[in-house]
Amino acid sequence: MQFKLTQFGNPILRQSAHQLTRSEIFSKDTQNIITNMRATLAQKRYGIGLAAPQIGQSLAVALVSLKPTPTRPNAPILHLTLINPMIVKTYGRRSPLWEGCISGPAMFAKVPRYRHLRLRWLDERGCRQEQDFTDLAAHVIQHEVDHLHGILFVDKVKDTTSYVTATEYRKLRRAEQQQNS
């Protein structure tokens, strides 16, 4: 089953999500939500992350599903289920990358985020995980963790002149890819 996405303006996107207990993680409802979040994200051509508030559930659950896309053909493959994620350390300075949101309007902007971080979370089996992430993975993780705290990518944009529509974003990315070839 696919979920309908919650859109910008819905108050749930501005709330802090409920941290799950181990028994809540193992509940049939939570496991079904995770399964259906995966199905929802898999249907999004450009989507590489999804947080439970984006499907109307105020739960501290997020998925990261990095994969090559038309605008990021060299993206690494990474699939994570993050429950109660916490960024425990960031390294270095922030660097801007293009960012959009499948809950938002069809627009993108450059968002400065840390390129290296350490994350602690529980997986869908309730096992504690801790790992360092870099580059695009670190960027997407920060975006999804922000969703769990009621923060949207538009709140993080420093250079408001970087806002572009999805059509212009795709043109810019194609030009960047041709330049780097």
Containing H/E element for 28?
helix 28-42
Instruction: State how far Cα 179 lies from the chain centre.
Output: 27
List 99, 124, 144, 168, catalytic entry:
144
CA distances from 2 to 18, 29, 136, 143 (A): 22, 15, 26, 22
| 144 in active site | yes
Rounded distance, CA 16 to CA 25, Å? 18
CB 157 within 8 A of CB 163: yes
Strands (E), 75-127: 78-99, 107-122
The structure tokens 């699939």 sit at 79
Residues classed as catalytic: 144
